[in-house]
Amino acid sequence: AHITNIDLTIYRLQTNEDIPVMVDAVADLNYDVILGGTKTVALARRRGLRATLLQSGPLSTKNAILEARKIAH
């Protein structure tokens, strides 16, 4: 998806057990920033990846994307 001139790939996880698998897969893809919930962001950061917290709600989503843009550039 293209939002505010950022290429986004969305991964929908079914359970918390999916988080490590997704973070490992994304790490191999060399994304600039991971947006996610508390557990996803914590794990990504522990693995040396740049990540920002995505909370629920439209304003939070927009703010997280804008923060990701700052981190990536």
Summarised one tens digit per residue, pLDDT across range 6-50 is 777 888 888 999 999 999 999 989 888 898 999 999 999 999 999
- How many C-alpha atoms does 43 have within 13 Å on its Cβ side? 18
pTM for the structure as a whole: 0.70
Judge whether 21 and 3 are in contact, CB under 8 Å.
no
* Cα 24 versus chain centre, distance: 12
Greater pLDDT, 4 or 53: 53
CB atoms within 10 A of CB 2: 7
